[in-house]
Each structure stands twice: as C-alpha cells, then as structure tokens.
Chains A and B, each alone.
Chain A
Amino acid sequence: MTVHSTIATPIEQAQRPSVWSRIWQNDAPGYLFLLPWFIGFFGLTIGPMITSFYLSFTNFDLLQAPQWVGASNYVRMFTADPKFSASMRVTLFFVIFSVPLKLAFALAVAMLLNRGIKGLPMYRALFYLPSLLGASVAIAILWRQIFAGDGLVNKLLALFGIIGPSWISNPNYSLWTLIILSIWQFGSPMIIFLAGLRQIPQDMYEAASLDGASKWRQFVKITLPLLTPVVFFNAIIQTIEAFKSFTPAFIISGGTGNPINSTLFYTLYLYQEAFGFFRMGYASALAWVLLALVGLFTAFSFLTSKYWVHYDD
C-alpha cells in the first residue's frame, strides 16, 4: 500500500497538474514574449482608438476638458465644410488615378523583365531605387523644383519649343505632379509582380503557343487570371498607402494644400485641423471617416474578390 502510493504520486501529479501550473507551463511563455506587443496594442492602439472615437463627439482644444457635442462634428463635415469635401475629392482623385496607373506600369515592366533577359538584377534594382527613396522629404523638394515654372520639365519642353506652365502652382496640374511622383515609385509592386510571374508554370505558355494562341491571348487567358491574387494584394496595399499619403503634398504645397486646395490631401487637412487650429475633436471625427472609408474599401475588395481573384492552383 505504502509502496504503491509512493509510486503513484508522481504519476498522478504528472497526469493532473493544477490549473495554474498548466497555465504557467503552456500559456505563460507565449504571453510573456508578447508582453511588449500587448502593452503597445492596448496602450497605443486599442485605448487610443476608443478615446479617439469618444473625442470625435466632442470639442477639444487640448487645454480644456473635451465638451460633448453629439454628432455635430460629423454633421458639420458633411453639410457645412467645403474644405472637407475638397480634401475628399482630392484624395479620391489621387487614389483612383495613381493606384491603377502605378500598378499598370509595375505589371508592364515586370512582364518585360520576365522574359529571361540579360541584366535582370540590374534593371530590377534601378527600377526599385525610386521606391526606396521616394518617401523622403528630399524627393518632394526635388519634385517641387522639377515641376516649377523654371524647372527641369519646362527646360526640357523648351528644347522642343514648348513653353510649359508652372505645373505645381497651377490647380489644373498640381495634383497630377503628385500622381506622377507616386507612379515613379512603381518599383515595389513591380518586384511583387515579378515574384508572382515566376510562379506561373512555363509549360502553360508552351502549350498555348502550340495551340496558336497569340501573345495577347496568352496574357489575357493565362497570365492575368493566375496573377489576380498578386494584383489583389498590390491593389489593397497601394490603395491604403495612397489614402495615407502626406509628406509630398505637405512639402510641395508648403503645408497649405494650395493652389486653391488642389493638393489638400485628406491627411493634410486633418493635420491642419489638429495641429494648426487645435480642433482635436473635429480632427478625430475626420480620422474616423477615413477609417470608415478605408474599411469600406477593404471590405468591398474582399467581398468582390471571389468573383475575380483566382485562388485554386
């Protein structure tokens, strides 16, 4: 009996450890490793999100306590704020033109590079360089000069006898200079396209060309369908990035969004409201509208994706 129990005890303990020691053994290490992330997640993301949602229903100038004003920030935005609608128009225009053009460029160049040509690493690196540098203030400064009245573009146009306008101070063109800056950075989606193109089995093309399919038909019937997951991924990432774009518009317009609000990006307007006029409540409401917009776009893309994104192999 006593002999039995001394043998049984350790087995019993191993089989039925206390709840706490099991948690300590199994779950604690994971949570400990995640501790920094948890502090950040709750302290810098979830907490601020809740606060920001609350602030969007208040008037708050940082100095006095927030004053509850109900939905009036949102009402004012959609009914009595021409700068809000201007900034929304500018941002949507920017997203709608810059993202498809950038992706089309990225895909076209990736197709050219994917023919097994010599010097691929060199071309790929050269085309990627603008993507890496493009976010810098220095590039925005350079862009401002290139498209100025006496800038590089007009100097080149003058060689052909064309007198160009001052692109950045003309409201008809100023936003296009920013779209061109965005397209100029097509390198990173191009690299992702290249990686996707390499996944397509070469014998599919061989079979298709034996059947007499033209290059264009091969592109439409083989390349594009098999590449749709990559197109989808690139489109989502680039669109969210485009919505968040701030630095180029800030630098090129000197923080104003001019001429006549033609480069007043949504993020720039939000910055002006928050840190120029210290209307923190209104700026929070602007931020939530942006989140709703990005969220709607993402949800719409995911919901429609099953109709055009080709996932089975």
Chain B
Amino acid sequence: MTINAPAKLTVVTEGMPSPLRRRTTSIIVHVLLIGASILMLYPLLWLLAASFRPENEIFTSASIWPSSWSLDAYFRGWNGLRTGFGTFYLNSFIISGLSVIGNVLACSMAAFAFARLNFKYKNFWFAMMLMTLMLPYQVTLIPQYVLFRQLGWVNTFLPLVVPKFLAADGFFIFLMVQFFRGLPKELDEAAQMDGCSPWRIYWRIIIPLSMPVLATAAIFTFIWTWDDFFGPLIYLGEMRQYTVMLGLRTFTDSTGESDYGGLFAMSALSLVPIFLFFLFFQRLLIEGIATTGMKR
C-alpha cells in the first residue's frame, strides 16, 4: 500500500497537464485552426477580389485585396451573353422555388405516412424508399429522358420540377421521418379521439410542429436545385430557359477566354443566394447534417 501510493501519484500528475501546458496546447490548436481556415477560404476570397479588380490585374495578383475597386466586371458579365443573366436568375429562382414547394409537400406527406400511420406492407415500402437513396441516378436517367421527351417536356422546366412533387428525393423523406417520429404519439391519439381525420392531424398538428425540419428540407432543396447542373444540361436546350449554372458554363465556352473579369463576377454572384442561406440558417443546416448525416 505505502509503496504503491507515490507511484500512483506521479501517474496522476503526468495524466493531468499543468495549466501552462494546457494553455500552450490550446494556442497551438488555435494557430493550426486559423491557418486551416485561411487556407480553406483563400480561394473564395480571391474569387471575390478578382471580380472587383481591374481586368489587367486578375492574372498578376495573388492578393485578396484589389488595388482599386470597380463594378465594371459585374455589368459586363451580366450582359455578356446573348441572353442576359437576369433571365437566368429568374429561371433559376422559378425552378428552385417550385422544387422547394414540391419537395416539402410531397416528402412530408410520405414521411407522415411512414412515421405516424399504420398500413399493410409499410415496412416493405419504407425499405424500398431507403433502397432508392443508394441508387445512382444514371440507372433511371435514359428511360426518364425518353419518357419526358415523349411527353413533350424537353425544353421546359417540367422534368426538373415535376419529380419533386412526386417525392423523388427520398433523402428528405428520411430526414422528415426521423423528426416526425420524435413528436409525442399522444398528440395523434388525442386528436383521433376527438374525431380528427388523418389529413387534419397531418395539416393541423404535425406540420405546424415540424417547422425546423421543413425549413431544413426547404433550404437544402433550394441550394441543391440552384446548384444542379446535370438536369438543366440535358433538359434545357434554349438559352432563354437556361439556369444560372448553365449560363456560367456557356460563359466559359464562349466569352470566358477573353472576359475573365465578367466570368468571375458572375461566378461570385451565383454563390450569393447560397451564402445568404448559410449566413442566416447555418445552425439549422449544421444540425440537419449532424442529426441525419446528410450527404453534403
């Protein structure tokens, strides 16, 4: 006993770092993290700076502070293509807005059925829904294209929007099921006793209580639809229907080689809606990812 005691004591002091050592480690960690942050954000800040600096400076400067500020590139870029970026932004907002409405409605309905109702083969259909999460979209791509083509939907927004009203993105169903399951079961039971129909339970009880998850789904739908490049690339052939992403791509093909300022200005501008969501709803987005493990 007495022999053992001092040995144990030294172990304890070794295990617990002194305040000084702890502070030193903490400073090192902060230096590391700040360094990493700068490295991560440097390209973005450089893009922002490049969009404001005079054209001749873009390829000579690595700094993130322009020698002089001008909005010229934004005006040049905005009208740099045959169709102006105003049209592209309008198209992107229409497609993203409709997608948000469709996704939130259709996915919340499906999630309500999976989380709060009982019906035959429910577990089977739920498993099917989870399977679609793993499916690479390429497997359904070509028949879907043929189908939409036969319906005369190519060169319209419909192939980009209608699937959202059919709850095609199972990810949001999964996200909402997780949330709906967490709401107290007594709510439904009490409402059912009072003669509430499932529709009223959905619309009057579950939806109003689920605003955080609906907002998360809405924001992610908006961002992913805004960013979507592949869908518009194959379904939208005429420039007046282009989304912002297609506009940018066309810019790189045609004028991009000569007007880098305009290209960077439009690139930076296209990130602004996403950045605004990040600024105001980052808590919601980060919690959404942390709890369900979303892909992005």
Contacts and interface: CB of A to CB of B under 8 A. Distances in A.
A195 B140 contact: no
Interface in B80-129: 105-106, 109-110, 112-114, 117-120, 122, 125, 128-129
A291 B270 contact: no
A134 B275 CA distance: 12
Contact of A287 (B16, B122, B138, B168): B138
Interface string B234-274: 10000000000100110011001000100110111011001
A67 interface: no
A233 B293 contact: yes
B295 A270 contact: no
Contacts of A135: 224, 227, 296
B223 interface: yes
Contacts of A275: 234
10 contacts: A26-B120, A33-B109, A36-B166, A40-B106, A185-B296, A195-B291, A246-B229, A247-B229, A254-B253, A270-B138
Contacts of B14: 212
B138 A234 contact: no
Nearest to B109: A33
Contact of B40 (A130, A155, A192): A130
Interface stretch (B24-32, B66-74, B207-215): B24-32
B271 A112 contact: no
B183 interface: no
A191 B288 CA distance: 10
Interface stretch (A80-88, A139-147, A168-176, A304-312): A139-147
B144 A142 contact: no
A157 to B, nearest CB: 10
A178 interface: no
A36 B59 contact: no
Given A26-B118, A112-B33, A192-B293, 14 more contacts: A33-B113, A39-B166, A40-B163, A41-B128, A44-B140, A45-B168, A115-B26, A130-B44, A142-B267, A271-B230, A274-B141, A274-B142, A286-B138, A298-B134
Chain A contact residues: helix, strand, loop or mixed? helix
Interface of B: 11-12, 14-16, 26, 29-30, 32-33, 36-37, 40-41, 43-44, 46-47, 59, 61-62, 105-106, 109-110, 112-114, 117-120, 122, 125, 128-129, 132, 134-147, 149, 163, 165-168, 173, 197-199, 202, 223-224, 227, 229-230, 234, 245, 248-249, 252-253, 256, 260, 263-264, 266-268, 270-271, 274-275, 278, 282, 285-286, 289-291, 293-296
Most chain A CB atoms below 10 A, which of B11, B16, B145, B289: B289
Nearest to B197: A29
A95 to B, nearest CB: 13
B293 A125 contact: no
A89 interface: no
A72 interface: no
Given A136-B274, A195-B291, A270-B138, A210 B15 contact: yes
Contact of B32 (A112, A210, A295): A112
A26 B41 CA distance: 54
Contacts, number: 261
A135 B256 CA distance: 20
A27 B202 CA distance: 16
Contacts of B282: 125, 128
Given A113-B33, A152-B46, A136 B227 contact: yes
Contact of A36 (B136, B167, B266): B167
A227 to B, nearest CB: 13
Given A51-B143, A117-B29, A270-B138, A37 B122 contact: no
B147 to A, nearest CB: 7
Contact of B294 (A119, A142, A150, A188): A188
Given A48-B147, A188-B294, A247-B230, A129 B41 contact: yes
Nearest to A66: B146
A163 interface: no
A59 interface: no
A37 B165 CA distance: 8
Interface stretch (A5-13, A96-104, A235-243): A235-243
A209 B268 CA distance: 49
Contacts of A118: 30
Contacts of B41: 126, 129
A283 B295 CA distance: 26
A274 B141 CA distance: 10
Interface string A187-231: 010011011000000000000011110000000000000000010
